[in-house]
Amino acid sequence: MKRLAKWRHLLLFSLLTLILSACGKPYLSALQPSGEVAQDQYDLMVLSTSIMVGVIAVVAVIFIIVLVRFRRKDEKIPKQVEGSHALEIIWTVIPILLVLVLAVPTVMATFKFADVSAMDKKNADGKTDALVVNVRANLYWWEFEYPNEEIITSQDLVVPTGEKVYFNLIASDVKHSFWIPAVGGKMDTNTENVNKFWLEFDEEKSDSDEVNNVFYGKCAELCGPSHALMDFKVKAISRADFDQWVSDMQSVKEPKKATSDLASQGQEIFNQSCIGCHAVTPDNTTPEAARQAPNLTNFGEREKIAGVLDHTEQDLKNWLSDPEKYKPGNKMSGTYGELTPDQLDALTEYLMGLKVQGK
Amino acid sequence: MSTIAQKRGFGAVLWEYLTTVDHKKIAHLYLFAGGFFFILGGIEAMIIRIQLIKPNNDFVSAGLFNEMLTMHGTTMIFLAAMPLLLGFMNAIMPLQIGARDVAFPFLNSLGFWLFFFGGVFLNLSWFLGGAPDAGWTSYASLSLASEGHGIDFYVLGLQISGFGTLMGGINFLVTIINMRAPGMTYMRMPLFTWTTFVASSLILFAFPPLTVSIFMMMFDRLFGSNFFDASMGGNTIIWEHFFWIFGHPEVYILILPAFGIFSEIFAVFSRKRLFGYSSMVFATVLIGFLGFMVWAHHMFTTGLGPIANAIFAVATMAIAVPTGIKIFNWLFTLWGGSIKFTTPMLWGIGFIPSFLMGGVTGVMLGAAAADYQYHDTYFVVAHFHYVIVGGVVFSLFAATHYYWPKMFGTMLNEFLGKITFVLFFIGFHLTFFIQHFLGLWGMPRRIFTYLPGQGLDTGNFVSTIGAFLMAAGVIVILINIIMTSVKNEKVGNDPWGDGRTLEWAISSPPPFYNFKQLPLVRGLDAYWIEKMEGKKGMIPAEPLGDVHMPNNSFVPFVISLGLFIAAFGVMYQADEGNTWGIPVIILGLAITFGSMLARSLRDDHGYHIHKEDLMDDNDKGVKA
């Protein structure tokens, strides 16, 4: 008996790991929802899957009976049945009812997710009380502008947990699609119109060890060779931390002075070759057309380099010396001359020092 | 001119096929050309799966991968699935309604050659600077930004082959409306004929939007217009609407004939008439109608707003009802039957659960709010492969085995056929089932690689293994076809023994004039009725008389060739400093319109097979 119990535990344990691993990674998977939108969508998935499993079960039973019972055993000709009104009515009406059961919550959720009325409610300053982020998708990077806070960042979206965050979405070159699977379904960034929706980031899930406050974001619409590499990260932090981050960002009024000699050399190179496209101040006064590349104000605090490479000095040097190799078709390749190892060292030192929070 | 002569050289056979207007020979052409493109699309699929077998793989480059995925989709839909189905329609539908040919044999041939030259043109892109790379949907902002001539090949190639498909559709409609044998009322038509009829009307209404939109795309790319250029006041969303107003009915153009094929197979191999025939017909028509009402469910994330999304969500779910009717009618056709597990029947048995999976995920995708998660992920990839492979490709394999004797007079090997089924069926589920989960785990579609550490490695590995099994299954069926053709053992009228419909009442393959005397149809499953009353064949509806036949013609080939030549001119005239583009356009169009003119000015009344010749030909045709 005891042995059996042990086996049972083992079985249970392995089943559990199987189920858990079957849910993907908590920072990426839509099956481990970490916010209101994703949770509602997950519930809708569970509802529709249950209905469908029911349908499959009915079909499976009939199917198996048919295959077992009605194999050809002799050469007799079976009775030619024309049909059955009763049966046909049953399998017309029941699916209609099932579809209705699914249709009602679907329609409700569709309207709920589209409710962005808070974006229109302006307070005395002409700003919204709700947090708004303007997302601009570019080949192959993301810009995040906070219009109320008047700051801009790129690649790492920073958001507070536990409240609705509203998004304006647009693309500046070709169509992309903005998707944070664990937090909510996607919406396209079109080239001609602004799309709006909201997401909410769950505090508890964000703080969990596996997520560690960083969700993965993806581009979901084919946009060219490096479509697969157009990742971004989402730092979901508490409201207090978020406010701190905002004020730290806002405090950068002009490009931060490099502190070491090497970094100063790097800054010089940067000012000659890079600053035409890359800003190192977060203010949002420059027009969109002039913001041709990711804003690097807090580059030293990013999760990744170019969205996909590890945030290490070596990876940064690799990236700077041959961006085409790591992100084919990107717009940075060929805009500057070849960098010597010394120049790479200097630039790396400077860029890695671009931090606003001093942690 | 007639095809009575049997032994001829290769050159003569080639010339016969280049000029034929016989629906059965055109069916062969569709089968071979479609089969060739199917292999091509399959190779592209294998390259895609090999690239994705492990994270950060570098089997193909990012740009080449996008070309592969675009050409895989485009080839499989436009150049493989649809032509193969058109091939079976051509081979079987006229026989099923007791006709001697389609209504417009010349147009039938023209349709094939347009499709063929369009397909060849599209695939020449591989050798002429790169294939299209914006996905088979070719969304406007990306396709306008795409460099080189890839998208131009897509636009021009599909335009030419699209004309061919449209002609095919119109031709089948006219044939079914006008050329049914005496007694063959609409509600006595076999279900494959019915689905051909509905699919053809879908072609009639769905292809014009495609034609229009790819014309606009052509003008944007090659002649400086700005229909889709947002910075010049154009709009890319319009392309999405156009494409899906075509694209969604296209799915039903593919799946309805597949339903038809399986309806025939289930009835024959369970020796029962189709359960609920009239509700099957009704469901087919309803699906065809609703198919035009749901295109925007491909655009739930485009930002159409909650009202549009909700309406299209409910409309999409509604399609589940007629589809469910069909599934249950098939099950109850089998219920109480006497089921024989031949190869075609195995594909049918495999089809029910596979297609059901694709169907239920379709309803799930229809739930707009949840679709925001599924959209453009591997969940969608899994869904449409369950529908298109589990439905359409299964039906193509089934039809290949089922109709091979009627088309070529020989039986494919049953043992090898079953091996193909087992390999392909297991491989199919291994490849695509896991992809539902990959999508939900956060894998977008159309990505050329993925980073490790995202929980996507195992799933992709499993999927690629499955793809190899599918490839193995396809290789076995090719071996089967070669072996069968070499052995060349001829079979009789009704080789499966349980044929129910008119095509099994005449020899395999049928004589070029099909029916010596048009048959009299006395009910649904006309041939079965006669068999059950102990008769050997159909009762003729007319006395033996002269048969009027059309002459072969090389003109369709030349018309298509002219457009093929003109397409090169259209494409290259946009290049800077190009001087030969415009003359080539003129030359190509001159060939096309010149041959049309020649055809119009020359009276071609065809010829008659005389009664006496038909009487000599006693072992063929309907026995009087």
User: What's the ipTM?
Assistant: 0.93
A88 touches chain B (CB under 8 A): yes
The residue type found at A40 is D
- The CATH T-level fold of domain A27-63+88-111+130-238 is Immunoglobulin-like (2.60.40)
- For chain A, positions 36-75, list CB contacts with chain B under 8 A: 38, 40-41, 44-45, 48-49, 52, 55-56, 59-60, 62-63, 65-67, 70-74
Place of tokens 């049909």: A83
B chain contacts of residue A74, beta-carbon cutoff 8 Å: 338
B chain contacts of residue A224, beta-carbon cutoff 8 Å: 66, 142, 145
The helix-helix angle for B236-269 and B191-222 (nearest 10°) equals: 160
pLDDT of residue A187: 97
pLDDT of residue A5: 63
Domain positions in chain B are: 10-553+604-616
pLDDT of residue B38: 97
Give the integer Cα–Cα distance in Å for A139 and B550: 58
- Tell me the pLDDT of chain A averaged across its residues: 92
Region B10-553+604-616: CATH code: 1.20.210.10
Give the integer Cα–Cα distance in Å for A261 and B271: 89
User: Which residues in chain B land under pLDDT 70?
Assistant: 1-7, 616-624
Partner residue facing A224 (CB), from B142, B324, B335: B142
CA A195 vs CA A36, A167, A176, A190, B229: distances in Å: 20, 8, 12, 7, 18
Peptide bond into B556 cis (omega under 30): no
Burial of A108 (0-12, 13-18, 19+ CB in 10 A): middle
**SS3 at position A37:** helix
CA B267 vs CA B36, B185, B192, B333: distances in Å: 31, 20, 12, 7
pLDDT higher than threshold 90 for residue A3? no
CA-nearest of B320, B506, B528, B270 to B407 is: B506
Start-to-end CA distance of chain A, whole Å, equals: 57
Do the Cβ atoms of B437 and B457 come closer than 8 Å? no
Contact B454 A173 (CB under 8 A): no
Q: Give the distance, in angstroms, between the CA of residue A26 and the centroid of all CA atoms in the same chain.
A: 12
Domain positions in chain A are: 27-63+88-111+130-238, 261-352
pLDDT of residue A13: 67
**SS3 at position A146:** strand
A chain contacts of residue B275, beta-carbon cutoff 8 Å: 81-84
CA-nearest of B257, B34, B21, B249 to B161 is: B34
Closest CA–CA distance from residue A139 to any residue of chain B (Å): 11
Give the integer Cα–Cα distance in Å for B49 and B460: 8
Q: Give the distance, in angstroms, between the CA of residue B615 and the centroid of all CA atoms in the same chain.
A: 38
Partner residue facing B309 (CB), from A65, A110, A179: A110
Start-to-end CA distance of chain B, whole Å, equals: 26
CA-nearest residue to B301 within chain A is A187
Contact A192 B437 (CB under 8 A): no
Buried b (16+ CB within 10 A) or exposed e, B590-603: ebbeebeeebeeee
* Span A81-130, pLDDT tens digits: 998 999 999 999 999 999 999 999 999 999 999 999 999 998 888 899 99
* Span A26-72, pLDDT tens digits: 999 999 999 999 999 999 999 999 999 999 999 999 999 999 999 99
How many residues comprise chain A?
Answer: 359
CB pairs under 8 A between A and B: 290
Looking at chain A, the whole-number percentage of residues with pLDDT higher than 70 is 94
Please report the sign of the dihedral spanned by the C-alpha atoms of residue B189, residue B78, residue B73, residue A184.
negative
Looking at chain A, the whole-number percentage of residues with pLDDT higher than 90 is 83
Contact A24 B532 (CB under 8 A): no
Closest CA–CA distance from residue B114 to any residue of chain A (Å): 30
CA-nearest of B442, B439, B435, B440 to B460 is: B435
B chain contacts of residue A77, beta-carbon cutoff 8 Å: 271, 338, 532
A chain contacts of residue B301, beta-carbon cutoff 8 Å: 177, 185-188, 220
Closest CA–CA distance from residue A328 to any residue of chain B (Å): 7
B116 Cβ neighbours under 8 A, 6+ residues apart: B29, B33, B161, B164, B560
Do the Cβ atoms of B557 and B531 come closer than 8 Å? no
* Span A140-194, pLDDT tens digits: 999 999 999 999 999 999 999 999 999 999 999 999 999 999 999 999 999 999 9
Closest CA–CA distance from residue A3 to any residue of chain B (Å): 33
Contact B62 A73 (CB under 8 A): no
Domain A261-352 has CATH 2.60.40.420: yes
Contact A83 B279 (CB under 8 A): yes
Partner residue facing A70 (CB), from B276, B336, B447: B336
Contact B327 A59 (CB under 8 A): yes
CA-nearest of A172, A160, A202 to A184 is: A202
pLDDT of residue A126: 85
A318 touches chain B (CB under 8 A): no
B chain contacts of residue A214, beta-carbon cutoff 8 Å: none
A chain contacts of residue B271, beta-carbon cutoff 8 Å: 72, 77-78
A29 touches chain B (CB under 8 A): yes
pLDDT of residue A21: 58
pLDDT of residue B4: 47
pLDDT of residue A4: 60
Partner residue facing B331 (CB), from A31, A66, A222: A66
CA-nearest residue to B306 within chain A is A111
Q: Which two tokens stand for residue A273?
A: 């070759």
pLDDT of residue B1: 40
Do the Cβ atoms of B26 and B108 come closer than 8 Å? yes
HSE, CB side, 13 Å, CA atoms: give it for residue B396. Answer: 27
A184 touches chain B (CB under 8 A): yes
Of the pLDDT bands very low, low, confident and very high (cuts 50, 70, 90), residue A20 is low
CA A254 vs CA A270, A274, A349: distances in Å: 15, 16, 19
Question: Helical H runs in chain A?
Answer: 2-21, 36-69, 85-113, 203-207, 239-250, 261-273, 313-321, 323-326, 341-352
pLDDT of residue B6: 52
The residue type found at B226 is N
Q: Which two tokens stand for residue B182?
A: 């005496």
Closest CA–CA distance from residue B10 to any residue of chain A (Å): 45
Place of tokens 């394999």: B397
